[in-house]
Amino acid sequence: MLTTVAAFDRIGEENAFAVLARATTLAAQGRDIINLGIGQPDFRTPEHIVEAAVKALKDGQHGYTPSVGIQPLREAVARDLHKRFDVEVDPGLVMIMPGGKVTMYAAILLFGEPGAEILYPDPGFPIYRSMIEYTGATPIPVPIREENGFAFSAEETLALITPKTRLLIINSPANPTGGVTPKAEIDKLVKGLADHPHVALMSDEIYDQFLFDGERHQTLLAYPEIRDRLILLNGWSKTYAMTGWRLGYSIWPQALYDKVRKLSVNAWSCVNAATQYAGIAALEGPQEPVAAMLAEFDKRRRLVVEGLNALPGVTCAKPKGAFYAFPNVSRTGWTSAKALASALLEDAGVATIGGPDFGVHGEGYIRLSYANSAENIARALERMGAFLSERK
């Protein structure tokens, strides 16, 4: 890795934050902006979780914790994974992180260097590519295609592996497409990876509870044959509406765990103690608030998809997961999806993200987060309809 100013110049950004800033500026100027840009639940963190943090603070939990996280939280993570997926996880391999993002940062730092190749989904979460470029490694996009239900194709992914490949990043349910990779395809991928023992895997499962139409999550933890090279990313941000708390976790192979522990000691020391106690309350407390939030997301998903398909030139496949719709806008008359997203914000007051912000294969699409009220979604669709009828 090149720890130079030039390397920092290669770091990219998450355009969702820039869109949020612009939307906030326009709103401050008195414009009525409907934000379908940002990827965070519009729900409050459930009350019992907030109370657990307040209690921890009042009880005097004000100091550093072990860098890998407090033991009861690591045990709660292992229990939760066992309960939901019937998988065995050693709490000693669980690392508590300040958000899910930090796991990808650590994983990519571990494997990225000039000459190495790292495979990542395109369109996909933009930080994958940004961090790969920072390390000097070569980013190799794995195309995620609409005609394939926005799922990974095991065959296409495996065909991109070379002797230089060090890490494969997968994400299901996926941002920005809402795609879910079926179990059969994951089975095939894992089977194929047996021929490539030099490739590590990072599975970003942060949306693992955001599944609709009876879909079930297939965790990569369920495959013992790859556990010695699997990094699992997950966290509280989305499931418990805790994006601003900065709480995530990862499961590491034994051989990597201590390396990442040292990085954490050097870089962030630990997650603040009160938040970690809130994390225990989230996993072990009532899950009804999660179910209620998911039911609401499902309603909005139907509304968004139906509304989008009624817009001129727009088609939208029904996403099976996450809380995003990724409509195809290539027949609207707009050849640049980024220009369309920008015009929608400036002229129609609807914030979305252009597909190319998620990779080259995102051209022709925009991302709408349906983390907004049904009423606002309906208003946004109306505005988009009027805009697209006038401006081609």
Can you give the binding site for ligand PLP, defined by CB under 6 A? 39, 99-101, 125, 171, 175, 204, 206, 235, 237, 243, 248
- Minimal distance in Å, beta carbon 238 to ligand PLP? 7
Is 171 or 352 the residue whose CB approaches ligand PLP more closely?
171
CA distance linking residue 188 with residue 43, whole number of Å: 37
Distance CA 270, CA 256 (A): 18
**Closest separation in Å from C-beta 98 to ligand PLP:** 8
Write the CA distances from 313 to 300, 309, 356, integer angstroms.
21, 8, 19
* CB-nearer residue toward ligand PLP: 39 or 354: 39
Nearer to ligand PLP, 207 or 257 (CB): 207
Least distance CB 234 / ligand PLP (angstroms): 9
Could you tell me how many helices (H) and strands (E) the chain has, helices first?
Answer: 13, 12
How far apart CA 196 and CA 34 sit, in angstroms, is 46
Q: Cα separation of 58 and 2, whole Å? A: 44
- Shortest reach from residue 124's CB to ligand PLP, in Å: 7
CB of 140 to ligand PLP, least distance (A): 18
C-alpha pair distances (Å), 233 with each of 333, 351, 375: 39, 28, 33
Based on CB atoms, which residue is closest to ligand PLP, 121 or 149? 121
* Least distance (Å) between residue 149 CB and ligand PLP: 17
Q: What minimum distance in Å lies between the beta carbon of 194 and ligand PLP?
A: 26
Alpha-carbon distance of 384 to 373, in angstroms, equals: 16
* Rounded least distance, CB 204 to ligand PLP, Å: 5
Asked if residue 316 lies in contact with residue 326, where contact means CB atoms within 8 angstroms, the answer is: yes
| Cβ burial, residue 147 (10 Å; 0-12/13-18/19+) | exposed
Nearest by Cα to 358 from 366, 350, 369: 366
**Which of 84, 294, 119 has the alpha carbon at shortest distance from 203?**
119
Residue (112 or 349) nearer to ligand PLP, CB: 112
How far, in Å, CA of 176 to CA of 125, rounded?
7
Q: At residue 279, what are phi and psi to the nearest 5 degrees?
A: -60, -40
Nearer of residues 68 and 381 to ligand PLP, judged by Cβ: 68
Q: Between 201 and 311, name the residue whose CB sits nearer to ligand PLP.
A: 201
Nearer to ligand PLP, 203 or 332 (CB): 203
Minimum separation from the CB atom of position 231 to ligand PLP (A): 13
Instruction: Look up tokens 């495996």; give the residue.
Output: 158
Nearer to ligand PLP, 349 or 356 (CB): 356
Minimum distance of ligand PLP from residue 237's CB (angstroms): 3
Q: What is the pairing mode between strands 200-204 and 117-122? A: unpaired
Task: Give the whole-angstrom CA distance, residue 371 versus residue 356.
Answer: 21
Nearer CB in complex with ligand PLP: 24/389: 24
Asked if 113 and 136 count as a contact pair (C-beta separation under 8 A), the reply is yes
Q: Does a cis peptide bond (omega within 30 degrees of 0) precede residue 253?
A: no
